[in-house]
Structure 1
Amino acid sequence: MRTQVAIIGAGPAGLLLGQLLYKAGIDNIILEQRSADYVLGRIRAGVLEQVTVDLLEQAGAATRMHAEGLPHDGIELLFGGKRHRIDLHALTGGKRVMVYGQTEVTRDLMEVREAEGLTTIYEAANVQPLDFEGSKPRVRYEKNGQVHELECDFIAGCDGFHGICRASAPADKLRTFEKVYPFGWLGLLSDTPPVSPELIYAQTERGFALCSQRSATRSRYYLQVPLTQKVEDWSDEAFWDELRLRLDPEARAQLVTGPSLEKSIAPLRSFVTEPMRFGRMFLAGDAAHIVPPTGAKGLNLAASDVGYLSRALVQYYKERSEAGIDGYSEQCLRRIWKAERFSWWMTSLMHRFPEAGSFDAKVQEAELDYIVNSRAGSTSLAENYVGLPLV
């Protein structure tokens, strides 16, 4: 079997890349080690930058997002017991974000790919990218007990942080950068109306909290918790009680509680690998970088990688130019490091660190006060939150 681009990983990054390439007339096959149901079962991000929205439109997978997604023009910062609104729309010349769950993005991309009759091979075992440093890369995998090989021109590694693609890159050519944070996010999903029309980022003496949403009837809440704690330590009642303690009186009064649909604890880390190209294999999304979720950048960074990569591959096939693929890694990393900086900054600003003392708390308080009372400070936050342009 042969294709032009073999895509490893059928998460949103791989599916979006496949659809963008298909729209440009470039043949591709996606290999995924898990089942389609497993991929859809991942509960992840829910805030989309304008760049991501634009790419989904380009891919022909934006109809339901525009019908059901929730455009947001601002966010609220809660500190000192009071909420302060950051007007994203006014501060960025009319930009906004879209609240629409990653699960729904994945579902939409799966459906448009299936409608076009494109090939996605789920439950592909022992996937191995081979010969990618030469001119004839291939991918070996097992399916139903048989070994198959897929010949291709390029391999796109969209298979996540624990995937095979980064693990297959030559160790002597990889540089990694990592910061592990001393806490996690306990997340709860519930079929309850959101406590506020816009997201609330709360910085409190008890720790960080985030009030987010997936729709007008489904909410997603998070609490900062020590890494020593487990999901089993938290009943739904205990979660709601703690969340109330981290909210302002108005939000506390408006909070509607209910049984959890899903509850989990995610550790926070910042991670980048350089470079993102190894011969004819490219890394994209979580295969190359991880951000703490505080800045809402994970899915959006994956989408921007895919935007750059699809553009580079179209340039290669349509114009017979290798300029795009040669510059892919450097171009991605410039945007990635800016998003890593913003996510680290938001995390440092909004969380309580175990080793921090009273001085650190006062500095956080002063910086938050500056942000909400300075147009320059608010604009910097807003520009990064809505997403930097894909240049």
Structure 2
Amino acid sequence: MHTTVGIIGGGPSGLLLARLLHRAGIDSVVLESRDRGYVERRQRAGILEQATVDALRAAGAGSRLDAEGIPHDGIELRYEGRAARIDFPGLTGGRRVWVYAQTEVVKDLVALQLAEGGPLLFGAEVTAVEGADTDRPLVRYTHEGREQTLTCDYVVGCDGFHGVTRNAVPEGERRTYERTYPYSWLGILADAPPVYDELIYAHSERGFALASMRSPSVSRLYLQVPNGTDPADWPDERVWDELDARLSLRADPAWRLKRGTVTQKSVLPMRSSVTEPMRYGRILLAGDAAHIVPPTGAKGLNLAAADVIVLARAFAHLKETGSTELLDTYSDTCLRRVWRAEHFSYFMTTTLHTDPAQSPLDTRLQQSQLDRIATSPHAAAELAENYTGLPLAP
């Protein structure tokens, strides 16, 4: 089998790229190692920037998002028992974000791809990518018990940090910058209606907490916990009690979360990582294959979407003009935005979390920074602009 663009990885970035290419009249094949059920149940991000929403609409995947997605015009910061709201539209000239789970984005894109797009093969385990420095790279994969090959004009790796595509780039041709944080998130999904209209990010001496949502009847909540935490050590009542303690308000000491059945509980380690460059020969990296951010800044899915939007434009430009100019600048174009998002995610993480080794001075510095954001329109605007998403390169 031969295709113009071989896409390894059927998560949101690979599927969105396939849809945008289909709309531009460019053929592709998507190879996904997991089965459809696993891919559609994989819980990850839930916040979409305006640019991501626009791209999903352009791909024909906006109808359910528009009907069921929850637009948010701000977030609330809590620290020292106080609350400060960050007004996104007022600080950014009208930008906002949407709450719409990655699971739903993937379901929408899978359905469209299977109905209208090129081949999407689940259970296709890629074993090797060869010939990146030739004009026809080769992908070897196993599907339905048979070893098969796919030749491509280009290969796009959307298969994550540990995927085959990233590792197909010779070590001497790539450099990775990494940071591991000394804490993790304990996350729960609960059948409990949120008692808040927008996300709450809380700093406390007990540790960070985040009150998010998936729908008007389902809450998504997180607690900072030590690395290596076993979810079994956190019974449901302990989780709810700790969330209430970290989210508490002096002005409203009776404020409490609504409790409900916990349907999912897991621990998420946190790290930052960037691999440069994002292109080697005819291999191009996108999403987690090229960069990982801690989830505090809500950038992961949005950065991946930004990569494939730039990439789809570059492939369309090649088809229309015969020029590889935009493909040649793909890595530099994306990395400028990637590094800003990495910095913002690092800032949100280190400002809101309590490092096990930090001193009382460190805590007071964090509180001072949060106070600056709460009282300065300039500092609040910087946070709002980064949270809602910096402009995509033309």
- TM-score tier after normalising by the smaller chain length: over 0.9
Residue matched to 1:22: 22
CA distance in 1, matches of 2:19, 2:356: 45
Structure 1 position 127, deviation (Å): 3.1
Residue matched to 2:194: 194
Distance 1:13 1:64, change over 3 A: same
Q: C-alpha deviations, 1:264-302, integer Å up to 9, x for none?
A: 000110000000001011000000000000000000000
CA distance in 1, matches of 2:326, 2:341: 22
Structure 1 position 319, deviation (Å): 1.0
Distance 1:148 1:103, change over 3 A: same
The residue identity in structure 2 corresponding to 1:337 is W
Structural mapping, 1:1-391, within 5 Å:
1-249=1-249, 250=252, 253-391=255-393
Q: Determine helix, strand or coil for the equivalent of 1:343.
A: helix
CA distance in 2, matches of 1:362, 1:138: 55
Indicate the RMSD between aligned Cα atoms, in angstroms.
Answer: 1.1
Structure 1 position 125, deviation (Å): 2.3
Structure 1 position 251, deviation (Å): 8.4
Q: C-alpha deviations, 1:151-198, integer Å up to 9, x for none?
A: 111001000122111111111011000010000000000121113000
User: Does the 8 Å CA contact 1:8/1:159 hold for their aligned counterparts?
Assistant: yes
Q: Determine helix, strand or coil for the equivalent of 1:16.
A: helix
CA distance in 2, matches of 1:251, 1:338: 38
User: Does the 8 Å CA contact 2:187/2:222 hold for their aligned counterparts?
Assistant: yes
Query: Structure 2: 5+ residue runs without aligned partners?
Result: none
CA distance in 2, matches of 1:284, 1:46: 19
CA distance in 2, matches of 1:164, 1:41: 22
User: Does the 8 Å CA contact 1:49/1:386 hold for their aligned counterparts?
Assistant: yes
User: Does the 8 Å CA contact 2:30/2:120 hold for their aligned counterparts?
Assistant: yes
The residue identity in structure 2 corresponding to 1:291 is V
Q: Determine helix, strand or coil for the equivalent of 1:347.
A: helix
User: Does the 8 Å CA contact 2:18/2:117 hold for their aligned counterparts?
Assistant: no
User: Does the 8 Å CA contact 1:128/1:141 hold for their aligned counterparts?
Assistant: yes
User: Does the 8 Å CA contact 1:140/1:150 hold for their aligned counterparts?
Assistant: yes
User: Does the 8 Å CA contact 1:77/1:201 hold for their aligned counterparts?
Assistant: yes
CA distance in 2, matches of 1:198, 1:299: 19
Structure 1 position 252, deviation (Å): 6.0
More displaced 10-residue stretch of structure 1: 239-248 or 340-349: 239-248
User: Does the 8 Å CA contact 1:174/1:275 hold for their aligned counterparts?
Assistant: yes
Q: Determine helix, strand or coil for the equivalent of 1:253.
A: coil
User: Does the 8 Å CA contact 1:137/1:151 hold for their aligned counterparts?
Assistant: yes
Distance 1:343 1:120, change over 3 A: same
User: Does the 8 Å CA contact 1:196/1:251 hold for their aligned counterparts?
Assistant: no
The residue identity in structure 2 corresponding to 1:234 is W
User: Does the 8 Å CA contact 1:30/1:120 hold for their aligned counterparts?
Assistant: yes
CA distance in 1, matches of 2:263, 2:230: 17
Structure 1 position 126, deviation (Å): 4.0
Structure 1 position 254, deviation (Å): 4.2
Structure 1 position 117, deviation (Å): 4.8
Query: Structure 1: 5+ residue runs without aligned partners?
Result: none
Q: Determine helix, strand or coil for the equivalent of 2:215.
A: coil
The residue identity in structure 2 corresponding to 1:296 is A
Give TM-score, length-normalised by structure 2.
0.98
User: Does the 8 Å CA contact 2:244/2:256 hold for their aligned counterparts?
Assistant: no
Structure 1 position 130, deviation (Å): 1.3
Give TM-score, length-normalised by structure 1.
0.98
User: Does the 8 Å CA contact 2:45/2:300 hold for their aligned counterparts?
Assistant: yes
User: Does the 8 Å CA contact 1:124/1:143 hold for their aligned counterparts?
Assistant: yes
CA distance in 1, matches of 2:79, 2:275: 34
Distance 1:252 1:343, change over 3 A: farther
CA distance in 2, matches of 1:92, 1:358: 34
